[in-house]
């Protein structure tokens, strides 16, 4: 440990020695008294000063450089994020420059892109144009674009849609023609012969009329026969296809309703008056769905 050692021992001069440089006996006596006071008080005071000085030298200090005088000094060290400037009058501790140009990043038409280090300092900054090309999309919420909106739409019943131009137009479907339905026995049918039928479609509504000859297998029994439709439709209920069928010979009548089997079709139902062949003329209407 660096320390100061002082030996404040003072020897009292005899009177004959004092007389060599003092002018008279009175001065000699006065100096003798002063010597007594000094030799009694100075050693204690000097010892206190020495102890205090040695304590100060041994205390921990923050310094800006190492020194041989102090034993427990703590030299001030700075990291790359700080600066230390020393002049003859000041010691200045400040932030080191991060390399980012001072300015405003981001605004109404741009978004800031920042890099932050472990000390919370911005070490890189730039701006990107504020548009969806610079923002990562999620898997659920996606950005609106003309192409995406157009691709999400499609035409439907009586509606035409152009995905290239985005034009939506209302159309009126008008179609007519003839076809020979396929007849399929369901119950109490020995034979069935369908003839060419005609249909008219206006929009989503189809009207069909025609003739089918049916030979029942038993009289007084509910007779059921399926007839295919000219325009396929996914019926939700059997009443969405409805019409009538009338015999040309007996004037017996029956109902025409939707048959919900796959594929869906028209079903002719009537109670057979006998087992002879009946000429049934039918007409029904349904909606294309």
Domain boundaries, the chain: 1-77, 137-168, 176-287
Return the minimum-mean-pLDDT range out of 7-11, 12-16, 157-161: 7-11
Contact (Cβ atoms closer than 8 angstroms) between residue 96 and residue 119: no
Residue 152 has pLDDT above 90, yes or no: no
Which residue has 């079709």 as its token pair?
265
Average pLDDT of 45-69? Answer: 64
Q: How many CB atoms lie within 10 A of CB 7?
A: 9
Q: What is the mean pLDDT of the chain?
A: 81
Q: Where do the H-state alpha helices sit in the chain?
A: 15-18, 25-58, 146-152
Which is more confidently placed, 155 or 210? Answer: 210
**Quick check: bond before 263 cis, omega within 30?**
yes
176-287 in CATH: which number? 2.60.90.40
For residue 100, the Cα-to-chain-centroid distance in whole angstroms is 29
Measured CA distances, 223 to 114, 216, 274 (Å):
81, 7, 11
Return the minimum-mean-pLDDT range out of 58-67, 78-87, 141-150, 238-247: 58-67
Of 191, 196, 193, the closest CA to residue 276 belongs to 191
CA geometry: angle 133, 138, 141, nearest 5 deg: 100
């Amino acid at each position: 440990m660096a320390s100061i050692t002082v030996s404040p021992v003072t020897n009292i001069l005899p009177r004959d020695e004092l007389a060599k440089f003092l002018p008279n006996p009175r001065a000699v006596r006065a100096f003798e008294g002063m010597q007594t006071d000094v030799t009694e008080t100075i050693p204690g005071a000097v010892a206190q000063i020495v102890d205090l000085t040695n304590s100060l030298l041994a205390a921990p200090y923050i310094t800006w450089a190492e020194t041989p005088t102090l034993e427990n000094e703590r030299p001030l060290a700075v990291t790359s994020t700080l600066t230390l400037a020393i002049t003859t009058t000041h010691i200045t501790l400040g932030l080191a420059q991060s390399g980012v140009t001072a300015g405003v990043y981001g605004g109404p038409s741009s978004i800031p892109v920042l890099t932050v280090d472990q000390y919370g300092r911005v070490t890189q900054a730039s701006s990107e144009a504020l548009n969806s090309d610079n923002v990562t999309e999620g898997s659920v919420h996606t950005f609106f674009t003309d192409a995406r909106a157009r691709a999400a739409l499609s035409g439907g019943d009586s509606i035409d849609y152009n995905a290239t131009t985005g034009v939506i137009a209302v159309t009126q479907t008008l179609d007519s023609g003839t076809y020979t339905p396929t007849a399929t026995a369901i119950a109490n049918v020995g034979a069935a012969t369908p003839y060419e039928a005609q249909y008219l479609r206006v929009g989503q509504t189809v009207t069909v009329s025609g003739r089918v000859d049916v030979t029942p297998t038993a009289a007084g029994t509910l007779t059921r026969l399926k007839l295919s439709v000219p325009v396929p439709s996914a019926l939700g209920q059997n009443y969405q296809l409805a019409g009538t069928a009338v015999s040309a010979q007996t004037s017996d009548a029956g109902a025409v309703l939707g048959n919900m089997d796959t594929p869906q079709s028209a079903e002719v139902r009537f109670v057979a008056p006998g087992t002879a062949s009946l000429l049934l003329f039918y007409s029904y209407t349904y909606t294309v769905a």
